[in-house]
Amino acid sequence: MTDITELLFDPATADEPHDAYRQIRSECPVARVEGLTGEPTVYVSRYADVMWALRHPEVFSSGPGAVEIGQDQPLIPLQVDPPDHAKYRRMLDPEFSPKKMAALEPHVRALASEMIDRFVDRGACNFHEDFATPFPSAVFLRLMGLPQSDLATFLQWRDDTIRPDTNDIDEATRIRAEAGHAIAMYFESALEDRRANPDDGLLSRLAHAEVEGRPLTKDESLGVCHLLLLAGLDTVTATLDCMVAHLARNPDRRRQIVDDPELVPAAVEELLRWETPVAMVIRVVAQDTTFAGVDVKAGDGCAAMIGAADGDDTEFDRADEVDFTREANRHLAFGAGPHRCLGSHLARMELHVALEELHRRIPDYRIADGAEIHHSPGIRQADHLPLTWSPAS
């Protein structure tokens, strides 16, 4: 049988994952094998099975045992399953509603244009460093009401948590724990300050938030802030890397959105499906069961492979084709079920704005000659993305 763990975490798979996804869907769509940590892990790759797993947290739990990344408290609402999960979503969903994101869009568009101003006349940039990283991070800081001067510290905490610079598991655990403790200390102080000195940022509203008629506890507040930091500073960066690298390599598709900017929203959805930057989401099996003919045990890890599911031809017509006019596109890039991404409306708005402004200002770009672009596994962020173009374009 295919060694799923080795295949999935092969650097070549992170760069070009679709051959691996096809192989896994075909040969072992649901498999219980030894995971990265040596413990049993259930890998789920077909669309229908991934959708079922995401919609049934009573079997595939997102609770604290699913992901340990050095946090001092559960990440809220990610690591709280129903029914308690609903009370936190009721509190947080209005903060990320389409209406609020529409109100934020003019600022986001101005920010994108300002960042492009810094390199448009150079005829070259490292898109990952010059735009994909600072753009969503600056939006996050603006949304939260935090100083832009803290960005470098936040990015270091993000990297120490999601991709610590070591291949040693014990060392990675130590780095994550240090980062998690530092994040908790930062937000504990910041929340205390906002309680005394409220402003119009989301952090201030969290400092005064209530759930079911009572104030959030310290751990609840810190759990929300920790999750928002990681999500706000990482996933859109990875998505922009994947999308712009794809468009640089496929000038015919880039030309489609240059010629018809109204196609950008559909292009975003199709590139979310095809690239699926967050390749998998992690769960833990909550009860012994037989799933798709495979016996799984309580305590097993689970990797719901949404990247593989998004290429499943039993769900998507012409699944191996990238089609910006695709009508039915129920991709799973934002997950599904009760834990569907809290910030999906914010992410979509940022991606729409970024692609619209980039292609309005720089319609014809390519990857620099000789550049090799590599992505991290799990969350497919590029190590760099050097682009070139004619300044007159």
Which residues belong to the active site?
Answer: 163, 234-235, 341-343
Which conformational region is residue 201 in: left (phi greater than 0), alpha (psi within -120 to 50 degrees), or beta? beta
Tell me the one-letter amino acid at 302: C
First to last CA, the chain: 51
CA distance 79 to 66: 8
CA distance 199 to 286: 41
CA distance 260 to 356: 10
CA distance 281 to 80: 15
H or E segment to which residue 196 belongs: helix 169-196
In whole angstroms, how far apart are CA 74 and each of 9, 62, 167, 218, 224?
Answer: 26, 10, 25, 12, 9
Helix then strand then coil, % of the chain, to nearest 5 = 55, 10, 35
Q: Which residue has the tokens 């007159």?
A: 392
* Rg of the chain (C-alpha set): 21
Question: How far out from the chain centre does Cα 309 lie?
Answer: 16
Q: Which residue has the tokens 């995971």?
A: 35
**Closest of 152, 154, 96 to residue 341, by C-alpha:** 96
H or E segment to which residue 388 belongs: strand 386-388
Q: Which residue has the tokens 């295949």?
A: 7
CA distance 285 to 296: 7
**Closest of 144, 115, 107, 171 to residue 230, by C-alpha:** 144
